[in-house]
Structure 1
Amino acid sequence: MSLLKWLFRRSAGKGRVCLEVRADGIGWSAVLSAPEKQASFGFLQCTPAGRREALSQLVTERDWSGFKATLVLPLDQYSVFQLERPSELADTELASALRWKLKDLLDYSPSDAVCDVFPFPSDASRGRGDLINVVAARKSMASELADLVSEANLELDRIDIAELALRNFAASLDPQGRGVALVHLRDRYGQMVVCKGPVLYLSRRLDVTSDDLRDASRQENAVQSLALEAQRSLDYFESQLGQVPPRAIHLVARDAMLPLSSMLSAYMAPSVEQIDWTQHGLTEPLDSRCLTVWSAGQPLAPAARKGESQ
């Protein structure tokens, strides 16, 4: 079973739904096919026990029956490792061959994992040889999510991961390919991706919670910690990957009322900027809980897709 088997596939049909299944609910984004080209997104709050009924009801209410579906795995549902790419293997053989090299890196048996690969930038290996990114997730989790989609009368044809979904959006912020950093703050953690155009160079988990940022007694320490982690990621991008760091960090956070951009900028070399959502066709700020699914539905240049396909 290939975790990212249909990552670059384009499909015809009535439309596409992107879903991210979380403990507190399901983020969704839907795009109808031409000629309508209508897009919508939202967050469906539900418990794990109630998600099957809730998703089925949502599909019925929005008339999505038979739509193609993309599942976006959040950061805590998979792992990514950089391994040396065996030169003698064809692209189609990499995932299966490299899975067993993860035996000392996973906290479960490689036989219980589904794996796939995506490219590691050749200009970032810094003498470490030809590297490849290997994605691993538990079979049981992947099967459970696939069943959830099927039982809601959707057709699963693609599984994505958070950093590649965010890469789609980051690429639109960096049309010249000079480098861009995007920070997505979730309730229990943050995620930072650094890209050059459509190429993902770095993804990092940021250990900060919304509760810490909201609490007056913990806020300053939380902001300093977040700034330090983000700055360290940019330093790694420069020193270890040999790249020129971006001049700005683009921030997406649910707490729009907090002046996080200015708070973080006080501790960092690059500026921290909020997203102007009107430049992306939206009339109001995107609910940050929908960022990965909305990003997964964003188009990526055909040349970029061809260059990253496995």
Structure 2
Amino acid sequence: MSESFLRRLFQRGKRQGSLSLEVRADGLAWSYSAVSAVSHGFLEGPPARRQALLDTLVAEHGWSGARARLILPMDQYQVFQLDRPDAIADDELADALRWKLKDLLEYSPAEAVCDVFPFPEDASRGRGELINVVAARKTLARELVKLVENAGLELERIDIAELALRNLAASLDAKSHGVALVHLRENDGQMVICRGNTLYLSRKLDVSSESLRDAAQQDGAVQSLALEIQRSLDYFESQLGQIPPRRLYLVARDNVMPLAPMLASYVAVSVETFDAGELGLKDALDSRCLPALGGNLALGGSSA
């Protein structure tokens, strides 16, 4: 985020490689990227044990002094599209727009840390120049910064889940034709649609893995998920004025169920199961680590 206490200039030469970390309610998802390999993992544990878990992880892998990127999960921040004010410098936008959120946040803007990232110019459809504004509670941000620094890591940046997933989608869209990525978690999901490095749309999907696995609920759950996906694709085309992506990549923790072909019969796009080998992973993908993996593919100029 853009405020000074969230910015730490990392010292080059301390260690090669970087750690990307998503601090979740049920544990820590991490990805470590070195010159020769990318590794990842998930440590389960309650919030009260976060520091101990991270300290142990850093000690076991010898990561002390490594630069780290924090990924905020979806439920720890909000994103709003606001009109970009005239004659405001880029580095002053976050502070200038903070108080415009007073009727949108459940807490005072004084308690928020904000940052901005671009809204695609070709998607504004005559609404003027827009900007994406990210807001999170300062108390949460400070706790996460303290967690990382107490573990002996150098905080490089804080990103958000949808931009981390954007990084993954961009890696699958080398020709910038457009691509959609759906990440299914235990109780919900997230869909992003990107073209090249640009995030056009991010939507939360109201679906649970339990309902998709349960034989009695499965047909209805698949149809409901497909309807949400297709509505997002339609919005991307009709409201944002964009050509629909050619492919949708699906990532779910339980890949035993043939969800991709089940969805493909309902949506107007090719649905494929995400191949973790494209990220250079040697181990099987733990989908809980997907945003952390995306954090290690950070793209310049567009992160929060």
For normalisation by structure 2, the TM-score amounts to 0.94
CA separation in 2, counterparts of 1:9 and 1:68? 6
Q: CA deviation at 1:8?
A: 11
Gaps of 5+ in 2: none
1:15-164 paired onto structure 2 within 5 Å: 15-32=17-34, 36-164=35-163
The equivalent residue for 1:186 is 185
Tell me, in whole angstroms, the C-alpha distance in 1 between the residues paired with 2:9 and 2:190: 23
Q: Deviations over 1:93-146 (max 9, x none)?
A: 100010100011111110100000000000000000000000000111111111
Q: 1:265-304 alignment to 2 at 5 Å?
A: 265-298=264-297, 300=299
**Kindly tell me: are residues 12 and 85 of structure 1, through their superposed partners in 2, closer, same or farther at Cα, counting changes over 3 Å?**
farther
CA contact (8 A) 2:38 2:281 kept: no
> Counterpart in 1 of 2:227?
228
Partners of 1:149 and 1:299 in 2: CA distance: 18
TM-superposed CA distance for 1:211, in Å, is: 1.3
Q: Could you say if the C-alpha distance between residues 221 and 8 of structure 1 is closer, same or farther in structure 2, counting changes exceeding 3 Å?
A: farther
1:156–1:281 Cα change, 3 Å: same
CA contact (8 A) 2:190 2:205 kept: yes
Q: How far apart in 2 are the matches of 1:279 and 1:309?
A: 22
Secondary structure at 2:175 match in 1: coil
Q: What's 2:174 paired with?
A: 175
2:8·2:154 contact (CA, 8 Å) conserved in 1? no
> Are the equivalent residues in 1 in contact too, given 2:27–2:50 (CA < 8 A)?
yes
Matched position secondary structure for 1:216: coil
Residue deviations 1:128-166 (CA, integer Å, cap 9, x gap) = 000000000011111111111111111212101011111
Partner of 2:14: 13
CA RMSD of aligned residues (A): 2.0
Mapping for residues 231-246 of structure 1, pairs under 5 Å: 231-246=230-245
Quote the residue 1:2 is aligned against: 2
**Contact 1:78/1:136 (<8 A) preserved:** yes
Q: Distance in 1 between matches of 2:193 and 2:36?
A: 30
Q: Contact between 1:28 and 1:43, CA under 8 Å: does it hold in 2? A: yes
| Matched-pair contact (CA < 8 Å) for 2:9–2:155 | no
Q: Which residue of 1 aligns with 2:253?
A: 254
Aligned partners of 1:7 and 1:159 also within 8 Å = no
Structure 1 residues 218 and 12 mapped into 2: Cα distance closer, same or farther (>3 Å)?
A: farther
Inter-CA distance 269–309: structure 2 relative to 1 (3 Å threshold)? closer
Q: TM-score, normalised by structure 1?
A: 0.92
Q: CA deviation at 1:42?
A: 0.4
Kept in 1, the 8 Å contact 2:177–2:246? The answer is no
The answer to whether the 8 A contact 2:37-2:280 is kept is no
The residue type equivalent to 1:194 in the other structure is I
* SS at structure 1 position matched to 2:192: strand
Q: Per-residue displacement from partner, 1:49-99 (whole Å, max 9, x unpaired)?
A: 111111111111111111111100111110000000012100011000101
Aligned partner of residue 20 in structure 1, secondary structure: strand
* Equivalences, count: 302
Task: Name the aligned partner's letter for residue 177 of structure 1.
Answer: S
CA contact (8 A) 1:7 1:160 kept: no
Question: What is the distance in 1 between the residues matched to 2:286 and 2:130?
Answer: 35
1:217 alignment partner, SS class? coil
**Deviation digits for residues 13-54 of structure 1 (CA, Å, limit 9, x no counterpart):** 31311100111110001123xxx4332110011111111111
d(CA) in 2 for partners of 1:211 and 1:258?
12
Which one has more relative contact order, counting CA pairs under 8 Å at least 6 apart? Answer: 2
CA distance in 2, matches of 1:3, 1:186: 31
Q: Secondary structure at the match of 2:225?
A: helix
Contact kept? 1:227, 1:264, Cα under 8 Å: yes
- Quickly say closer, same or farther: Cα 1:108–1:179, change in 2 above 3 A: same
8 Å CA contact 1:20, 1:28 repeated in 2: yes
Instruction: Please say if residues 8 and 309 of structure 1, whose CA atoms lie closer than 8 Å, have aligned partners that are also in contact.
Output: no
Distance 1:3 1:267, change over 3 A: farther
Aligned equivalents of 2:8, 2:173: Cα separation in 1 = 22
Identity of aligned residues (%): 61
In the alignment, the residues of structure 2 paired with residue 7 and residue 237 of structure 1 have an alpha-carbon distance, to the nearest angstrom, of: 36
